[in-house]
Structure 1
Amino acid sequence: MSQTPKRAAVYCRLSYAPDGSVEKVERQEADCRELAARLGWEISESHVFVDNSRSAWQRKRKRPGWDSLLKAVEADDIDGIVVYHGDRMIRQPFDLERMISLAEGKGLRISSPSGTRDLDSADDRFILRIEAAQACRASDDTSRRVSRGVKGRVEKGLPPTAGGKRPYGWGVQIGSKVKVDPETGKEKRVPVFDMTLPVAEEIRFTQRAIERQLAGMNHGAVVRWLNESGSRTTEGNPWTTKSWRNVVLRPRVAGLIEHGGKLHKAAWDGAVSVEVWAAIKALYAASAAESPYCGRERVHLLTGVAECFQCHPAPRGGKCGSPKCKGPHQAVRSKPSGGRNRKTSRIYYCPSCRGVGRNMALLDAYIDGRVLRLLSSEDFLRELRKAMAPEGGDASSLLTEITALEKRREQEKARLESLADHPDVDGSLVVLAIASFDRKIVALRARLAVPAKLNRLTKLVGIGREDWLARPIDVRSAVVKDLFRVVILPTELRGPGFDTSSVRLERRPL
């Protein structure tokens, strides 16, 4: 007969604790200690293992407590395990086989309220294998029911899971319910929201902010505008670049839900069209590719835009003496000019060699003038029109075709509504016809689509100096980068004035 364990371990596990509550695993530990006391087992205080909010059924899950328990078994540090219930420890047969393999010949005993098992006993191993198979089958049944429920919600155009925080733009309160505070145990009344109903003011903020971004406004500037306009997150916090990015990149904003890697039509109308949502996603993707780190909100026109004539940035580093070098060069930064009589002036400088520096106000004014002159040029206007010409046809014919398709689509919709209750008409045929119109319209709009750069430049053609300076600094900086590569060269000019030959502007292709 096996000896009474003198170094028993305790294992506790709770599958789901979204609020991080440890109350239930603590209750399991107390029950395990009470059982060990009745059996006369001695608990090893250094071998109490807890997995809170951890699944034992998912094959790819991580259970730190379980892994530590197996190490203790392999090292022969324990001679018994007390568990609240067998399925708290094992819900997959392969976990049991792993335990049996590590405990072979060690006389390890497992105890729970349902009984005590000796892993060296063939009969007990047989019973444990049956219990593990039953636990796995129960988990499979639960998973199947949950998956079917999720599929049913998606088919209705609802999110895969209910509850959670109210999404920005949607969620009208339709009642309240009583909820128990996990920390205090007290009941409190919380609002209940219908997540398919739009919040008009938040929808307007979303639409206006996305319009600004597509027009060329910097991500950080849009966030600042939202905060200054009085918009707040659903939790009442000021917007950050991360929280706003999360809102506009979610399929919900376009009236879609994502499940299983596919997009489905949602039960609510989007704040923007699918095409606009695709454009804003493409804008973020392009920004991430061009600038892996977006940096702080822009303050000056040419920081990060103008380049030193000779220094290369890390990791390449070093200097080049060739004026024809097309490789990436060190971008300039800004700092105060310094000096008793220049307390408010600033300069652009190269942080690598510190050998070039230009007065910020004078260089900005020169660049502004060159940009305005180009935007007012007839040659540039012709170049822009050529760059924007759609593939496979001119813009006017494509727009005419889109307009005609949209008109026919509306006629089909009206026809569907009038025949909805007619017993001899198959409404699904009309629905399919409308879907075919949508596909054709999306394809034509894609041929009309232009890069964000061209869209930004088109709105600024012929702009005057006063209107130009009234534009946000990040928009002006983006336009400078769209049009020119700005290279700062050495200068021998000393004293007041600006040496235009000390700046090289290279036109970028549209």
Structure 2
Amino acid sequence: MKTSARARRVGIYVRISDDREGAGLGVKRQEDDCRLLAASLGWTIVEIYDDNDMSASNRRKKRKGYHRMLADIESGHIDAVIAWHPDRLYRQPRELEDLMDLLDSPDLDVELRTVTAGAIKLSNSDERMLARIQVAIAKREVEHKAERIKRKIQELVAAGAIHNSGHRPFGYERIYEGTGPRRKIIEDRVNEVEAKLVRDWADRALEGESLYSLVVDANEKGILTSTGGPWSYQGMRALLRSGRIAGLKEHKGEIVGEAVWPAIISVEKHKALRALLSDRSEQAKERGAQRTTTARKYPLSGLIRCTCRVPHVVGEPCDCKEQGREHHKMKTSPRSDRPIGVYVCAKDGGGCGARTIQIPDLEKAMEQLLFLQLEEAETALVEDPDDPRPALEEKLGTLQARVAELEVELDEGDTPVREVTASIQRIKGRMTKVQRELAELTVKTNVLEVSVDELREAWEDYSVPRKQAVYRGLIEEIIVHPATRPYNVFNPDRIEVRWK
């Protein structure tokens, strides 16, 4: 049934692509003009459809107001639409075609009006052709604008300059020219308070401390991100992997050169962090590890293993690795007869569930073994100062360059896709192995850079996560052998350490 023009139930659609004022003033002005037009036509306003700060050319984000309006047209809830201009409704040819398909329904009699361009008529082929031409021109303008923005970004990337967008980076203060929503960023200066935190987190990560530990510590101390929120694993990882804190320009995850802002950490530390954190990410994927922010209570947790059910000669080093066997994990467990914690062989993992070792005895013995090992390593470092990391970094760079070449081949299409893809995957596997070697060397080297005397003096003040980082940077596992008589006396020979 056709509806009389005098009894139109109208929905007003308003949209602005970029609400820099953040107050919705742009859509409010559109709505006011649309209301005046509705009043002059004698139409009754029943709905307002609002897509503030939403581009019609961005297909990734769904315009909720617009799609709600289409649903209300289809259901008959409204039979007229007023917008400020046709490009408020559609700027994509696909959207125009969808709208015309909807209005083709014989059950609908919908009128479209705009404040600035009058009625939108789509009832015959000539009117539709004109609408298609207009939306094609609008689409071309959108693409041309995108090309200009892309070229500008490329210029900024090449110059290592600051993009005039995004959040203030942690560790820096933003200096602006002008005021209001269109102010321009002219400089990033180091924020010394935040920069000190960044340097501390970088050093602790390079010593092997987990990112979760850093996140927990930062949040417990009330340290907020540059946007005023708590820290997350992803946020901490992104910060420490970024080229920005080393004074480098990064684009789409790749370092493209020096930047105009000052560095907080050295380029060498940045490279080490990038290798270390890339390796941790790959290992987490391989293990299928579930990330938690629960901190371990004891420095040696996760390293202790039991030799139960594995034949070996008492007093001799365990040869389980050579036999391709794994030791059973030992977990912390409170003793019922005294207030002293122990590590016990995990029965739920197939272990004996009986072998134990007291935590205080083990920690004290391990501290002595640690400093003895560090003294030996310190002497060896003086005698052989060669650092294998530069060679590994060069190898990694060569592999990365080869992947880039293969990706170009893939784009050109001259080589079979399956063959190129297989080559890329093989090289990426080799890259992961090199990154892992670099990560282990980086952690070990950073631990060894602190003199034994300095470490011994500061050890008592180290947090549990920081002690864990030192142990994990140097130790693969700690094997606990059976107790020996007299059982009430701790025997340090029960401990066998597999150093990295």
Q: Does 1:142 align with 2:145?
A: yes
Task: Output the amino acid matched with 1:300.
Answer: Y
Partner residue in 1 for 2:277: 284
How far, CA to CA, are the matches of 1:361 and 1:249 in structure 2?
37
Q: Which residue of 467, 484, 489 corresponds with 1:497?
A: 489
How far, CA to CA, are the matches of 2:465 and 2:495 in structure 1?
22
Q: Secondary structure at the match of 2:82?
A: strand
Structure with more contact order per residue of length (Cα contacts < 8 Å, sep ≥ 6): 2
Q: Secondary structure at the match of 1:9?
A: strand
Partner residue in 1 for 2:341: 346
Task: Output the amino acid matched with 2:49.
Answer: F
- Pick which of 234-243 and 121-130 moved more: 234-243
How far, CA to CA, are the matches of 2:216 and 2:132 in structure 1?
61
Task: Output the amino acid matched with 1:170.
Answer: Y
Matches within 5 A, 1:125-274: 125-162=128-165, 164-171=166-173, 177=179, 194-199=186-191, 202-203=194-195, 206-207=198-199, 209-219=201-211, 244-259=236-251, 262=254, 263-274=256-267
Partner residue in 2 for 1:84: 84
Q: Secondary structure at the match of 1:451?
A: helix
How far, CA to CA, are the matches of 1:281 and 1:203 in structure 2?
18
How far, CA to CA, are the matches of 2:44 and 2:140 in structure 1?
34
Asked if the contact 2:83/2:113 (under 8 Å) is kept, the reply is yes
How far, CA to CA, are the matches of 1:448 and 1:126 in structure 2?
62
Distance 1:323 1:158, change over 3 A: closer
Distance 1:297 1:193, change over 3 A: farther
Partner residue in 1 for 2:410: none
Asked if the contact 1:171/1:194 (under 8 Å) is kept, the reply is no
How far, CA to CA, are the matches of 2:297 and 2:274 in structure 1?
25
Partner residue in 1 for 2:402: none
Distance 1:376 1:150, change over 3 A: closer
Distance 1:139 1:290, change over 3 A: closer
Aligned-pair Cα RMSD in Å: 4.8
How far, CA to CA, are the matches of 1:144 and 1:330 in structure 2?
59
CA deviation after TM superposition for structure 1 residue 91, in Å: 0.8
Partner residue in 2 for 1:477: 468
Q: Secondary structure at the match of 1:133?
A: helix
Distance 1:98 1:351, change over 3 A: farther
Matches within 5 A, 1:2-13: 3-4=4-5, 6-13=8-15
Q: Secondary structure at the match of 2:49?
A: strand
Q: 1:6-64 deviations in whole A, cap 9, x for unaligned?
A: 4543322221236764444355445434433432434444xx43323221113444323
Asked if the contact 1:14/1:24 (under 8 Å) is kept, the reply is yes
Task: Output the amino acid matched with 1:477.
Answer: Q
CA deviation after TM superposition for structure 1 residue 132, in Å: 1.7
Identical-pair percentage: 24
Asked if the contact 1:82/1:110 (under 8 Å) is kept, the reply is yes
Q: Which residue of 38, 41, 63 corresponds with 1:39?
A: 41
Q: 1:421-477 deviations in whole A, cap 9, x for unaligned?
A: xxxxxxxxxxxxxxxxxxxxxxxxxx9998224314544787699448445543443
The normalised TM-score by structure 2 is 0.67
Task: Output the amino acid matched with 1:117.
Answer: I
Asked if the contact 2:49/2:66 (under 8 Å) is kept, the reply is yes
The normalised TM-score by structure 1 is 0.66
Task: Output the amino acid matched with 1:252.
Answer: R
Partner residue in 2 for 1:111: 113
Q: Secondary structure at the match of 1:54?
A: coil
Partner residue in 1 for 2:364: 365
Q: Which residue of 17, 20, 23 corresponds with 2:19?
A: 17
Q: Secondary structure at the match of 2:302?
A: coil
Q: Secondary structure at the match of 1:295?
A: coil
- Pick which of 134-143 and 452-461 moved more: 452-461
Aligned length: 429
5+ long unaligned stretches in structure 1: 181-190, 312-321, 399-446
Between structures 1 and 2, the one with greater helix share: 2
CA deviation after TM superposition for structure 1 residue 112, in Å: 1.4
Q: 1:52-81 deviations in whole A, cap 9, x for unaligned?
A: 322111344432333334444555664332
CA deviation after TM superposition for structure 1 residue 200, in Å: 5.1
